[in-house]
Amino acid sequence: MEKTLVLSQTQKNTLLDHAKKNPLIESCALLLGKIDLNTYKVKDIYLTENIENSPVNFTISNEELLAAYQEAEKRGLDIIGIFHSHPHWEAIPSQTDKKFMRVNPVIWIIYSNEKDQMRGFILESDIERVLIKIDEI
């Protein structure tokens, strides 16, 4: 059954602004929320810094990861997704993304700065598309 990620227009704008603030490097963020069957409902966006400062890779520091997990736990939420941008490429998982999707089995939202396009993916037995639904909460 198809999975759906639900976020508000405000949350989407926050992610796009983050990606456009420094369009030459991959931006990254964590999505905090709840999962109800096949619906992933974003409750908050946790913006992070790409410590690689790279146009083709991103890494979130251990300190920021720990802080995000602590914030989620404090609020009774889960890390349900990872957002990152592709400054000069399509919104599809790269080979590196595919490798890390195995380690982080959450929804991956990829934004293409070049094509102004946002897509969602999850790794099950294979990489599957996730529907992104904008819903004012």
How far apart, in Å, are the Cα atoms of 130 and each of 6, 55, 56, 60, 106? 10, 24, 23, 23, 11
Choosing from 26, 49, 52, 90, which is the catalytic residue?
26
Catalytic annotation on 71?
no
Amino acid making up residue 72: A
Residue range 32-38: average pLDDT? 96
**pLDDT value of residue 137:** 54
**pLDDT value of residue 1:** 76
| Model confidence pLDDT, tens digit, residues 102-121 | 999 999 999 999 999 999 99
How far apart, in Å, are the Cα atoms of 134 and each of 10, 12, 40, 75? 9, 8, 12, 23
User: In 3D, which of 31, 101, 98 has the Cα closest to residue 69?
Assistant: 31
Share of the chain above pLDDT 90, in %: 95
Per-residue pLDDT for 31 more than 70?
A: yes
